[in-house]
Amino acid sequence: MLERYFVFPHTVDRIRASWIGEAVERYIEHLAEGGYRDRTIHYRVPLLIEFGEFAHARGANAWPELSAYAEDFIAERAKRRGCGARGAKPRPGVAKEIRGPIEQFLRLIVPGFVGHVRQPAVVPFADSAPGVFGYLREERGLRPDTLLHYSHHLRGFENYLKKIDLHDLSDLTPPVLAAFVADSSPRLGKTGVRDLCGVLRVFLRYLHRERLLPKDISGAVDAPHVYRLSKIPRSVTWEEVRRMLAVVERRMPGGKRDYAILLLLVTYGLRAREVAALTLDHIDWKRERLHVPERKADHDTAFPLSTIVGDAIVDYLQHGRPQTTDRHVFFRTVAPFAPLTYSALSDRATHYLRKAGIPVSRAGSHTLRHTCVQRLVDADFSLKVIGDYVGHRVPASTEIYSKVAVETLRRVALGDGEDIV
């Protein structure tokens, strides 16, 4: 296995001569089975050999003893690697880059080693209001993503109450609520403050129902007015879409994947979550249909599969998608191979919009969704048809897109508008 990755015999001999040489070979086999790239192995093996020498010089003589020296090695190596200039601070993320390979290696060869793992998020008000998330999930029927949204805002509320030393929920008062909203407002936009206030109202009504709060004070939470039609959707022109697609490097596996993703977003106006959730079973090649299940409006949609989109997906499946039994369509291009998350997918859209030099506020996958709708508005489709196409729950959600018919609105402004109305 070593000869596959290291050309020079003396390099192979040095690795095998190390007291952890056998363990390193096992680790290389593990990486190879996981589909890791050669350059990853070339980087990690010298790091592990150095770690073995570091631990051995300090008294380690058996593999299980390595774990006791991991933290010291990571700190020393990060300090040495992160400070290029004298007196410079270590570059952020260096320790994380070193920790990953070291702890992955130790998990493989040291039984029971865990290392640093991401701690699960603490459930807010788990002691003082333990049933709130069961209520939200079972009685109100909120989805997991919405529960995360509630958890985020309630965790901030709980931390604020700790900061002001208010530990009994029955002591909540309107001034405390107003102070919390004011304290949170600088970090949130208008819609963010509105959402925060909505979460607080639901929480306060639950507390009153469960007799944890003597009086229902949810009405004291005053949310700012957010006017639904006050902004123009953040779409880009079709010429800018062409520019964005042109900068995708379609000769690389990642480029093949990203090209197919961008086409799905801008052609069908799909949300990032909907694209990330697509599986091979959702593409009906025989009937040339694309099935999008469980949309936000609680319905499924079947689209005709565009030839351009279909060709891009086929190109990715044949020449870019890793070999895996998972049925998801889009995957990471580097090991460990896992389905692409919706946030990573949106980041790819942001990347290409910026790479193409397209100015847009809050660039992301929703920019391409708005662009799809603008294209349909320009083609004179009715708002009802457009709403059904992009999966809006109610027609009112589509009304804002009537504002993107700029030329039509200009004609109304310049004349009496009778020929248009």
Model confidence at 85, pLDDT cuts 50, 70, 90, reads very low
Which domains are present in the chain?
2-109 (no CATH), 132-220 (1.10.150), 238-414 (1.10.443.10)
Q: Which residue has the tokens 């109100």?
A: 140
Catalytic site residue 286?
no
Quick check: 64 pLDDT over 90? yes
Q: What is the pTM of this model?
A: 0.74
Catalytic site residue 392?
yes
**pLDDT for 368:** 93
Catalytic residue among 257, 348, 366, 375: 366
Question: In terms of pLDDT, which residue wins out, 270 or 295?
Answer: 270
Total count of residues recorded for the chain? 421
Among 140-144, 327-331, 377-381, top mean pLDDT goes to: 327-331
Quick check: 25 pLDDT over 90? yes
| Cα 416 from chain centroid (whole Å) | 48
Model confidence at 360, pLDDT cuts 50, 70, 90, reads confident
Q: What are the tens digits of pLDDT across the range 140-196?
A: 988 888 899 999 999 999 999 999 999 999 999 999 999 999 999 988 878 889 999
Quick check: 50 pLDDT over 80? yes
Catalytic site residue 116?
no
Catalytic residue among 271, 321, 348, 375: 271
Catalytic site residue 271?
yes
* Segment among 117-131, 222-236, 268-282, 309-323 with least mean pLDDT: 222-236
Pairing between β-strand 289-292 and β-strand 301-304 as defined by DSSP bridges? antiparallel
Catalytic residue among 296, 328, 332, 354: 296
Catalytic site residue 56?
no
Judge residue 130's burial from the number of C-beta atoms within 10 Å of its C-beta, 0-12 exposed, 13-18 middle, 19 or more buried.
exposed
Quick check: 86 pLDDT over 80? no
Catalytic site residue 243?
no
